[in-house]
Amino acid sequence: MIELSGNSLTIEESRRIIYEKELVFVKEEVWEKVERSRAVVDHIVDTQKVVYGITTGFGKFSDILIHPDDVENLQLHLIRSHACGVGAPFPELVSRGIVLLRINALLKGFSGIRRNVLELLLELLNQQIHPIVPQQGSLGASGDLAPLSHMALVLVGEGEVIYKGDRMPSKMAFLKTNLEPIVLKAKEGLALINGTQAMTSLGLVNYIESTRLALLADCISSMTVEGLEGIIDAFDDEIHQARGYIEQIEVAARIRKILNGSQLTTRQGEKRVQDAYSIRCIPQVHGASWQVLSYVKDKLLVEMNAATDNPLIFSEGKVLSGGNFHGQPIAFAMDFLAIAMSEFGNISERRIERLVNPQLNDLPPFLSPSPGLQSGAMIMQYCAASLVSENKTLSHPASVDSIPSSANQEDHVSMGTIAARHAYQIIQNVKMVLAIELICSLQAVEYRGVNKMSATTKEFFHSARSVVPSIIEDRVFSIDIENVKGWLEKLDVHLFLENAIGKKEDYYKNEFKTSD
């Protein structure tokens, strides 16, 4: 079990909770912070002090006082009216992450929410009851109001969830698990929905998927180097030490180890003096994207453990309104991640072109088994080109946009959730592009001679060939692309590299590092 305190959640712990469904718990001293904060809210209601979101309306209605008899209705109206998300729901992993991160934020003791509300959220997480949360409709300030409202609906017995793989009304899932919906009290609706947990949860899933994909890109490009009889000298450690970027140095070292013992690589001057940039500059390009991943990781670690609602309740009953719900830091991080992942796709597509273009290699044209009669991989390159071009449009930063809302009271917003959604789509597209590169590189090394491959790439080759057979005749390649994408998603690339080239520190030192 993993302890939640509001202050120390790591990316690795989040991965285990979100992906592996590990249980969570809260220590009693953490509950004491929650209860002290709640006592302040109760005092404000009892004394009818004017405090935003507790005894007033919301947004432009912040100047309207609410009668004590209407406090519960105010919270329910807030949740229902704000639950106006549209579009397809977030993936179940993301929904699970939203619940996790909202619990963690509320446990900090700045939000004035009751213990029993948080305990119900904990039950959702531990019993794997995942809210249906539409993806579209958030401006990213005041946080993720619409998405988090759909999460909050579940607590009052409304909305829908996924439970044990089935979509159903929340009340039905509660019946199956002997849970009871709650009645929200003063401030609790606002505490549940005023935050950045939708964009941050999707950002967390994006980061975890991106680190896997980056390692896969190194493995696949290494096989492409063999397929094109690439010059191994470009990966020499002295070149990369001379520049000094640690991520570039690590990518070059990883590729050297993956290709160790290969008879398909060449030396400079042996067949050509230099390779094209898409081969020669793999460490520089992949390494730069790894730098972005490090930046994204740092921002996520802060936001995962941040108080992001409004107002916040501090010691001695001080209640302050501010703007911690503004998603600008995550918006920037997701825009940056989108660019970095697009570049993995861009350089991969250029390697695909070098594998299939007969003017750029000495392989059969388009890797066709019968050039002219059969097209081989010709249109797979078209598909890759289409995907990377789509990524270029998706990489336009969402964070530079803003639009006023709530009658200009909320006049600058982050669009952070849009940035995270775009990054997610780019990651899915890059998976397809890398799947296409892998299919092409498998065919190329097969022409060159599998027996000449390095031990690591040979193992990778045989594992991949169990998913996609050799191209001996044209077929519906979209099936192959989807199959390879699915295989890449399931492949434990960390374990593969650990078995192939040594312990994790040998292939990436800092992937899930959580403190400096």
Structure-block tokens of residue 169: 């009304």
Please state, in angstroms and rounded to a whole number, the distance separating the CA atoms of residues 140 and 327: 5
CB-CB contact of 342 with 288 (8 Å): no
Q: Strand, coil or helix: what is 312?
A: strand
Residues forming the active site: 52
Helices 145-155 and 71-82, axial angle in degrees (round to 10):
120
Please state, in angstroms and rounded to a whole number, the distance separating the CA atoms of residues 145 and 299: 21
Structure-block tokens of residue 434: 């890398």
Q: Which helix (H) or strand (E) holds 36?
A: helix 28-47
Please state, in angstroms and rounded to a whole number, the distance separating the CA atoms of residues 225 and 278: 10
Give the residue from 50, 354, 409, 332 showing the smallest Cα distance to 227. Answer: 354
CB-CB contact of 68 with 269 (8 Å): no
CB-CB contact of 413 with 140 (8 Å): yes
The single-letter DSSP state of residue 14 is H
Angle at 377 between CA 342 and CA 225, to 5 degrees: 60
User: 505 exposed, middle or buried (CB, 10 Å; 0-12, 13-18, 19+)?
Assistant: exposed
CB-CB contact of 309 with 195 (8 Å): yes
CB-CB contact of 381 with 250 (8 Å): no
Query: How far, CA to CA in Å, does 148 sit from each of 137, 203, 235, 342?
Result: 11, 15, 47, 29
